[in-house]
Amino acid sequence: MTTKEPRNLEREEIDRAIARCEASSTALAFAYGVQERLGYVPERAVSRICEVAGVGEEDLRRAIDQEDGLLDVPLGLHRVLVCTGVTCARRGGANLLRQAREKLGIDAFKSTPGGAVRLEPFRCFGQCAQAPTIRMDGSLRGAMTEKRFDLLLDLFLRDEV
């Protein structure tokens, strides 16, 4: 039994994602298909999508950069969203976001260098009665304090490579 190199496996996943799209799809539709399969649109996928869709690489890169829903870097292993809606911001959400940026050493919409955590502000979870609210790996947590948030971030940072 042979093992395949990661690059070959990635190429196969890219090809599978493209194959699942309709032949008449746009380059952005192919990019979304790749992201659905891999979690982001790797550089290797851009050239392959361009081959299939018949568009220029610079045009596709520019479109990916402008498209809010497409990522050209992988998300972190853990995704941390901090509510920045008016109520949450006033009740400490803005401080939580600042705390996370300082502790993780990253800006919003970035991942830690080892890929353990991705930090994102979020407009509103609709849980204002429990403000400030965060979402960690899909789980909402309300009435978040700086101390509790710090402990949760420490748990996620254990996965840093």
Q: What does the pLDDT look like over 62-76, one tens digit per residue? A: 999 888 778 887 777
CATH code given to domain 78-157: 3.40.30.10
Q: What does the pLDDT look like over 98-152, one tens digit per residue? A: 999 999 999 998 888 888 898 999 989 999 999 999 999 889 999 999 999 999 9
Q: What does the pLDDT look like over 83-98, one tens digit per residue? A: 999 999 999 999 999 9
Q: Is the pTM of this model over 0.85?
A: no
Confidence of residue 161 (pLDDT cuts 50, 70, 90): low
**For the chain, which residues make up each domain, given as ranges?**
6-66, 78-157
DSSP string, 39-71: SS--HHHHHHHHHHHT--HHHHHHHHHH-TT--
